[in-house]
Structure 1
Amino acid sequence: MNKRISTIIFIILVVLLCVPVLTSVIYKFGVNKFYKACLDVKYKANLEYIKNHNANLEINLSENNDFTNLLINDGYIKIKENKVSFTLKNYYLSKCAYKLEDSDEIIVISLTDNCNINLINNNINNNFTFDSKTQTITDYSGSSDVIIPNKIDGIDVINIGKRAFHNKGITSVYINSSVKTIEEEAFLNNNITSVTIKGEPVIKEKAFMNNFIENIDIESATYEIDSFKNNLLSEEDAYFINDNILMSYGGYSKNITIPSFVEKIEATFNNLNVTTFNTGNNLKEIPDYLFKDNNLEEVIIGENVEKIGKEAFMNNKIDNLTILSSKIILEGAFKNNYITTINLPSNLKEIKESAFMNNKIYNITFESKLDYIGEKAFKHNYITSLNLDVTKIDKEAFMDNLIETININCTNYGIDSFKNNLLNNNDAYFVNGNTLVSYGGYEKNIITIPSDVLRISATFSNLDGWVNLNNTKVIDANAFANNKLKKVNLRNVIEIGKNAFLNNDLTSLIVPNSTMFIKEGAFKGNKFNKVIMQGKTSMKDFKEIYFDSFDSGKIVFEGE
């Protein structure tokens, strides 16, 4: 019997030694932020109120009750000093608690069996480097659990300085209501999992970027761009918004849908592991570079979008694209993806440079007339047919596709806008007035320029036969450069541009009397045996000719 009593006494002593004690009266409980912990009140409490405690109560609480085993979540206990003795117990978590010197709060950071809990922590302020003139914390050397006090040395803490807590190994942050500004990158690159911010501070750019924040409690704040980017918040807490403008996204979801009340985005989403993006119902504009360099596979552009920004979705893996609305699609918006089919909306008017370049598009539908398709807009795709009504197509817009059939209404084509396609001869020549600006045919052996063409500005590639220039009078620079032409008829040509026939396989040439201008390198890099100059006695008979226009063969002047 005595042995049993001794054992019981020993157990009681062990328990008492492991239980830390605080002396205070419970004033109120904080908002939903405590891990499971047991608050065992040993004294009658003058309980004023309990707010949002999210507690499991074994008995109903009322004034002058004795109560035990109150389970609460991790957070803050508001108290008044030296009125009630109570103990905090926890057998599952590693938590510790202490009270700020100039506040009626006990803050539970961690609680262990060996934890020494002090009502007043007189050393906490020594962890901060504080500029009393600007009332700014500029550096920190304390523990991983950070509590920003209202005052340091009796002076209000107003600002948390730029990079003050950058890369300090911090795991939790509590910021009191005196703080008005949290500067750029203040808590960048830490291990923070939970944040509580009182008051109404301005949280500046990248202030909490690159952490592991899962739990967040902010009473009110004004956010700047990417203030919480790259964190682990749930979709419910991940969007930081000022006046319907999304300033930062702090979630980890692979599937993002912008909240319906957001009209504008200033946050960036680059370098995130997102696979699906939906603009939601009210977004009006997709900003430049929004999802550049991600892993997006599906994008849905909502019915209220008016503009898709520059390189907004460049360098992704998009193979499923829905665009319900957009008046303009800017440069490189969907460049370098895997898009195969696309229906463009009826309100679309402009597609800018390289917007859909380097995809796998084989089927494209234009719902209405466009004003403009920019340079290289659809270059390097697999488009096989085209039905298009547009005012202007810029250079190389549909170059390097597989277009075999075309129905087009356009009066202003850019240089090489349809180069390297598979059109038949009836559809292969694209002309502005009397100027040939693009050739999109599959014929490579015998090329006959249409008789109404007076000038060639297009460039040709992969030709290996001969060219009949018909009535052409001017051949612009590089028009037939770097082919394997064996024969060319210049009978009506007046001017031959720089490098126009550079690097071909020509072995003979007749330059007619009509030709008066031969620019630099026009026939350089061929294999001439003989060049005949009709109606001329010397080079002086040309209005313009360069010595490097020919670099092989004998030149014969038939006018001698």
Structure 2
Amino acid sequence: MKSSKKQKILAVMLAASMVSGIGAVGLTIGNISNISVKAADSLTTADGFSYEVIDNTNTVRITGYSKNGKIAIPSKIDGKTVVEIGSNAFRDKTGLQSVSIPETVKIIDGGAFSGCTGLQEVTMLNGLETIGGESFYRCTALKEIKIPDSVTEIGNSAFYNCSAVKTLTIGKSVKTIGSYAFEYCKNLISVTLPNSLAEMGGSVFSDCTKLENIVIQGNKDFQKISHATFRNCTNLKNVNISANITVIGNAVFEDCTSLEEITIPNTVKEIGGESFNRCTALKEIKIPDSVTEIGNAAFYNCSAAKTLTIGKSVKTIGSDAFEKCESIIDVTLPDSLTKIGTSVFGNCKKLETVVMKGENLVTIPYATFYDCKNLRDVYIGAGITTIGSSAFNGCTSLDKITVPDSVTKIENSAFSNCTSLKKIIIPESVTVIEGNDVFENHGKDLVIYGYSNDCEAKKYADANNITYKLINAHDHQPGEWIIIKEATEKNSGTKIQKCTICGELLNVEIIDIIHTHTYGDKWQSDETNHWHECTVCGEKADTAKHEFGEWETDEKTAKQHRECTICGYTEEKAKPHEHSYGDDWYSDETNHWHECTVCGEKADTAEHEFGEWVIDEKTSTKHRACTVCEYPQSEIIPHIHTYGEEWKSDETNHWHECTICGDKSDTAKHDLKDVIDKEATATETGLKHKECTVCGYKGLSEVISKLDPTPTPTPPQPTPTPGKVVNTGDNAVPITIASVLGLGAITAFVISFKKKHS
């Protein structure tokens, strides 16, 4: 009995010592007991769909899917309606083969099916409104894209590199198409853009190399074809552009090397730089009268174009605009022209005749007609004051030219390498002939004609060993009209009248198109009228106002529409109805209002009526709410910091905090000193901790090793190194275990000893 009692006592002592040991080394389970697991927002169905409830409503968003193969997205989950497919929900699920999307889904978010390279079929139903950016990005097995009529927005790169797609149907309600939306859809053959389209980004169909036909429609707001929209569509042959378009952006049709014909509508005002760059199959370039600006390299290297017609409103032509258009034979520059860039007609090797009409163009810039080897007849406009350097350099067929009396300066190399030039008339108005190379490498029989022996032309001729001859001053004698470009069924012609004495250009006239109009059967229309157009020249006939039928109502969209009974033009408006205003308040920073549940019309609009400010001392803010709609408003309260006397601390520093906002002051590192909690003996370890002398911060306890029980009679030794400091965190657990094991061993020894002597 005694032995048993002693053992129980020793057991109790052992337990106590173990608890004491654990406490001594600072083991705590506070961090473990305080761990909380936040409930996941995303839930999962038995079918493998992950979803989340949207803003505490009765609707859900699909956020993921755990399976592959063919799937049908449910219209309801747990009684709640599926209205959205979330961002990246199915991203990179390469085993997905087909997807059916219910009509309840309104939004497909960005990246939803991005990288689903095995996806071959997608069914989207009416009800869908938004297809987000990159939603079907690189779905390289997708064979068909059918955008339902309910969709209004297609995001950036939505179907980028869907390289297997052959057919594309864009619904009749799409208003915006983002940049790169169908770029690299290399098997796409035909595209029709709907009447609803109001805005389209750049490079939408770029690099669709099998695309053959494009019909560009759009509503009255759709006025610009953005940059590179059809760039490198190398198989594109036919383009029909809407009459609403006013701007053809930069590089829109660049490298469309199969494009043979295009009709630019008489609404376009600007043709951007490189817009038809390297359209090497284009047979004709016809700039309508509406155009005022042609950008740099707009028609660069349209090498097959034989005819060029520049409309009567063009004011500026950019550099290299028609360079390397090697098949053009004649050019007439209109009265409206005020500026042309460099090398505009450079390397037009078959160009024979140039007529500069009018007085608004003042400079023929650098290399304008450089290397036009077949150029023979040049009629310089009466407004030109400067013939720029190398303007006619390399025009090896040019044999005569008359400089008008508006010119004051001829720059270096202007007629260099004109090896056939025999006659040039230079008036007294020319006061500068720049450099000795103006006529470098000229024809051997070159004669400069002038009206005086005291003029710059005479001085230049003498200085450069060129024959100079006087020509009598005279009144110009108009000769017969000369037709330099015949009118055709498609293009107007040009005729000129020259002085019979000096050859100066006196008059230029345009010859109207000569043909019998052939009007197509298809009606053309705008908001007011409809008409038939001549299939050759675009002349209008049978123009009349629309004759609309009765209004029809679409109950689903609460809109009405009616059609012209003759041409089919559709007009749309909101359905007339009695407004039904909901009880919920809508608001912005200033006002609140009720909205009609049918059309969104606002009612009861009024400014907020805010209550009293409520101060939150803890966050140094104040807030209040509108007493009508509860719209919240908050502000930061400016204050003078009030720092408490109590020290705050972490493992490294201590500081005082502002009692209002928590701002820190007096921040400094701890001044740590060792504090002994328990002295070590020969039989027991001791304990100590570090404590800051300023703020009282206490570090974790450290074990002090037991003292040596048998001192060795040797000379005094240095003080033993204290035990290793135990770091915070996970190291506390092994220290505790070691301590417990040590105490257990001692206790076991005592129990064993007692048993032997009982």
TM-score tier (shorter): 0.5 to 0.7
Q: CA deviation at 1:441?
A: 7.0
Q: Call closer, same or farther: CA 1:219–1:146 in 2, change over 3 Å.
A: farther
Return the alpha-carbon distance in structure 1 between the equivalents of residues 172 and 305 of structure 2: 43
Alignment of 1:512-527 (within 5 A): none
Q: Call closer, same or farther: CA 1:278–1:195 in 2, change over 3 Å.
A: closer
Return the alpha-carbon distance in structure 1 between the equivalents of residues 454 and 238 of structure 2: 56
The one-character-per-residue Cα deviations of 1:259-302 (angstroms, maximum 9, x if unpaired) are: 27442223711122112334332211111000101121112211
Q: Call closer, same or farther: CA 1:240–1:206 in 2, change over 3 Å.
A: farther
Return the alpha-carbon distance in structure 1 between the equivalents of residues 101 and 440 of structure 2: 69
Task: Check if 1:300 corresponds to 2:253.
Answer: no
Is residue 395–residue 417 contact of structure 1 (8 Å, CA) maintained in 2? yes
Task: Check if 1:372 corresponds to 2:339.
Answer: yes
Task: Check if 1:225 corresponds to 2:179.
Answer: yes
Return the alpha-carbon distance in structure 1 between the equivalents of residues 129 and 223 of structure 2: 30
Q: CA deviation at 1:373?
A: 1.7
Return the alpha-carbon distance in structure 2 between the equivalents of residues 217 and 342 of structure 1: 35
Q: CA deviation at 1:321?
A: 2.2
The one-character-per-residue Cα deviations of 1:418-453 (angstroms, maximum 9, x if unpaired) are: 222233355489995254441167447999997965
The one-character-per-residue Cα deviations of 1:389-424 (angstroms, maximum 9, x if unpaired) are: 322221111111122222212113321112222333
Residue 333 (structure 1) aligns with: 298
The one-character-per-residue Cα deviations of 1:300-342 (angstroms, maximum 9, x if unpaired) are: 2111110111100011121222222311110001001121221
Q: Call closer, same or farther: CA 1:185–1:429 in 2, change over 3 Å.
A: farther
Which of 130, 133, 142 matches 2:95?
142
Alignment of 1:106-505 (within 5 A): 136-147=89-100, 160-162=109-111, 164-166=113-115, 168-174=117-123, 182-184=132-134, 186-195=136-145, 200=151, 202-209=153-160, 210-214=163-167, 216=169, 222-229=176-183, 230=185, 238-239=192-193, 243-247=197-201, 248=204, 254-259=212-217, 261=219, 262-266=222-226, 268-272=229-233, 273-294=235-256, 295-316=258-279, 317-325=281-289, 326-337=291-302, 338-359=304-325, 360-381=327-348, 382-389=350-357, 390-401=361-372, 402-409=374-381, 410-421=384-395, 422-424=397-399, 426-427=401-402, 433-437=408-412, 438-439=414-415, 442-443=418-419, 453=432, 455-456=434-435, 462=441
Q: Which has the larger radius of gyration?
A: 2
Q: Call closer, same or farther: CA 1:471–1:163 in 2, change over 3 Å.
A: farther
Q: CA deviation at 1:386?
A: 1.8
Q: CA deviation at 1:383?
A: 1.7
Return the alpha-carbon distance in structure 2 between the equivalents of residues 140 and 224 of structure 1: 24
Return the alpha-carbon distance in structure 1 between the equivalents of residues 464 and 363 of structure 2: 32
Q: Call closer, same or farther: CA 1:271–1:166 in 2, change over 3 Å.
A: farther
Residue 123 (structure 1) aligns with: none
Is residue 365–residue 387 contact of structure 1 (8 Å, CA) maintained in 2? yes
The one-character-per-residue Cα deviations of 1:322-364 (angstroms, maximum 9, x if unpaired) are: 2223111100010011212212111111111000000121122
Is residue 135–residue 158 contact of structure 1 (8 Å, CA) maintained in 2? no
Return the alpha-carbon distance in structure 2 between the equivalents of residues 336 and 419 of structure 1: 19
Partner of 2:312: helix, strand, or coil? coil
Percent identity of the aligned residues?
A: 20
Return the alpha-carbon distance in structure 2 between the equivalents of residues 424 and 239 of structure 1: 52
The one-character-per-residue Cα deviations of 1:54-86 (angstroms, maximum 9, x if unpaired) are: xxxxxxxxxxxxxxxxxxxxxxxxxxxxxxxxx
Partner of 1:140: helix, strand, or coil? coil
Greater mean alpha carbon deviation, residues 356-365 or residues 224-233: 224-233
Residue 24 (structure 1) aligns with: none
The aligned amino acid for 1:296 is L
Greater mean alpha carbon deviation, residues 255-264 or residues 340-349: 255-264
Return the alpha-carbon distance in structure 1 between the equivalents of residues 424 and 173 of structure 2: 73
Is residue 130–residue 153 contact of structure 2 (8 Å, CA) maintained in 1? yes
Is residue 283–residue 302 contact of structure 1 (8 Å, CA) maintained in 2? yes
Partner of 2:342: helix, strand, or coil? coil
Q: Call closer, same or farther: CA 1:283–1:436 in 2, change over 3 Å.
A: same
Q: Call closer, same or farther: CA 1:227–1:254 in 2, change over 3 Å.
A: same
Return the alpha-carbon distance in structure 2 between the equivalents of residues 280 and 258 of structure 1: 5
Q: CA deviation at 1:97?
A: 8.2
> Could you tell me the TM-score, scaled by structure 2's length?
0.40
Q: Call closer, same or farther: CA 1:256–1:322 in 2, change over 3 Å.
A: farther
Q: Which segments of 5 or more consecutive residues in structure 2 lack a partner in the other structure?
A: 1-68, 79-83, 457-462, 467-758
Return the alpha-carbon distance in structure 2 between the equivalents of residues 307 and 217 of structure 1: 27
Q: Call closer, same or farther: CA 1:200–1:215 in 2, change over 3 Å.
A: closer
Return the alpha-carbon distance in structure 1 between the equivalents of residues 366 and 399 of structure 2: 20
Q: Which segments of 5 or more consecutive residues in structure 1 lack a partner in the other structure?
A: 1-95, 105-119, 121-129, 474-486, 491-560
Return the alpha-carbon distance in structure 2 between the equivalents of residues 147 and 373 of structure 1: 56
The aligned amino acid for 1:188 is R
Is residue 344–residue 367 contact of structure 1 (8 Å, CA) maintained in 2? yes
Q: Call closer, same or farther: CA 1:189–1:417 in 2, change over 3 Å.
A: farther
Return the alpha-carbon distance in structure 1 between the equivalents of residues 214 and 307 of structure 2: 22
Return the alpha-carbon distance in structure 2 between the equivalents of residues 403 and 179 of structure 1: 58
Return the alpha-carbon distance in structure 2 between the equivalents of residues 157 and 189 of structure 1: 21
Is residue 416–residue 458 contact of structure 1 (8 Å, CA) maintained in 2? no
Return the alpha-carbon distance in structure 2 between the equivalents of residues 166 and 240 of structure 1: 28
Q: Call closer, same or farther: CA 1:226–1:434 in 2, change over 3 Å.
A: closer
Is residue 175–residue 197 contact of structure 1 (8 Å, CA) maintained in 2? yes
Return the alpha-carbon distance in structure 1 between the equivalents of residues 424 and 189 of structure 2: 65
Is residue 424–residue 441 contact of structure 1 (8 Å, CA) maintained in 2? no
